[in-house]
Amino acid sequence: MEYTPEVLYEKLTKILYRSEELEELGLLPVAGNLDGSEHAPFVLLENRLGIPLQYVTTIYKCAWGKFCSLRSAGSGSDKEALTRLDCCMKSLIIINPECYSAWNLRKQLVQQGQLDPANELPFIELLFTFPQHNKSYTTWHHRKWVIELIAAKTSCMPSVIKEIEICSRVGELYPKNYNAWVHRQWILKYIDNQQALLEELERVTYWNNSHISDHSGFHHREQVLLRICQQLGVLSSIGRVSRINIMEKSNSVSSNVSLLNASLDEQRPLLDLWLAEFRYTKELLTRYPEHETLWYHLRFCYFYWRLIGFEELSPDIEESNTAWPCLHSEMNFVEQFIELNAHDSDEATYALSYKLYILELNQQEVMPTMAQLAELSKHSNYYAAHLPASSRPT
């Protein structure tokens, strides 16, 4: 059966009129034989909407024409016109979540009080059930905008746990979802107690354990750890101290770290957290030596270990499961790792790069390590360029 653009558009908007009942979206490779259904050629089964791929372009062109007409006419105080415009915008966004014109008009209508901001969040959740849509930057930005608007107007923040659950679910649908992790990281600023942050660390640990190569997941882990430092009153700001600051021991270090002169007992909660993080990361490296992500995370651990000042302490207790992180212990870890994984040049390169990072941070001699890296990376001139001409591999 043939369907005109008008019929397809009207059928879709009729379904979207009750969009709060929909639970899932999807594209159908072909239209089913559903001539007897009032929703044909769309499939609406148990609140799950399937849109035949062959009609997507036709529907979008028709919806865009309707959108231009309705936008020009304006919604005014006409509730019916506003409903038509709302369904039209949803039709456009469901097919193309990067339709800026539709999103911007929705923002305008929300600000004017014609659309309820609380209804925007369930609609975006519906969009996220479509794997290709949940990586849309524009959609995530709109969600963030709505949350900030609600928080500012009502002093009532939407559930942080729910936002985290949405990010986690979206990450499972479409792994390595950068925008979902950025949103999850942004929501951390609304977590105002240490216990909630520790619970988030536990949740992200579960993710990290099964997604070892996901850089975004480990970056989020690092942000959680830094937020815990802030909650404990250790770091006054995040991201304002560089490796050069530490090497030069500049004033910016002491101004950002407030626990440098505290006793070991006072630093104990954070000390335990950081020792556990070293232990966790090195255990993962032992089990998954081929993942470079873990080496970058180990750099993060050592950088802040030094920044906070733990390395300079002389512990009066024995840490049975973790060598006290310092230049000597980290060099030993690298050497043992290379000895166990000598058969793989990539793994040796990752380990030596970490060694080079530690040596530079401690202002130690780096040329022998640089020469080793140049030998392992003959396909790249990056390390060799830093060596004297006589020491470069041939």
Mean pLDDT to the nearest integer, 313-318 = 56
Cα torsion 256, 260, 261, 262: sign: positive
Rg (CA), the chain: 27
Confidence band for 323, pLDDT divided at 50, 70 and 90: confident
Tell me the sheet residues that pair with 62: none
pLDDT at 387: 72
pLDDT at 79: 87
* Least confidently predicted of 30-39, 77-86, 313-322: 313-322
Q: For 11-17, which contacts have Cβ atoms below 8 Å and span 24 or more sequence positions? A: 11/39, 11/40, 11/42, 12/42, 12/51, 12/59, 12/91, 13/84, 13/87, 13/88, 13/90, 13/91, 15/39, 15/42, 15/44, 15/49, 16/87, 16/90, 16/91, 16/94, 17/83, 17/87
- How long is the chain? 394
pLDDT tens for 187-221 read: 998 888 899 999 999 999 999 999 999 999 999 99
pLDDT at 392: 67
Helix orientation angle between 215-231 and 264-287, rounded to the nearest 10 degrees: 170
Q: How far is CA 231 from the centre of its chain?
A: 21
What is the domain partition of the chain in residue ranges? Answer: 1-153
pLDDT at 269: 85
Angle, vertex CA 349, rays to CA 346 and CA 352, nearest 5? 155
- Helices and strands, number each (H, E), in the chain: 17, 3
Amino acid identity for residue 124 in this structure: I
Whether the Cβ atoms of residue 115 and residue 106 lie closer than 8 Å to each other:
yes
Confidence band for 388, pLDDT divided at 50, 70 and 90: confident
Mean pLDDT to the nearest integer, 29-44 = 80
Residue 226 tokens read as 């830094």
Q: What secondary structure, in 3-state letters, does 270-282 show?
A: HHHHHHHHHHHHH
Between CA 201 and CA 45 the distance in angstroms is 38
Confidence band for 320, pLDDT divided at 50, 70 and 90: very low
**264, pLDDT greater than 70:** no
Q: Which residue, among 177, 175, 178, 115, has the nearest Cα to 145 in the 3D structure?
A: 115
pLDDT at 106: 97
Structure pTM? 0.87
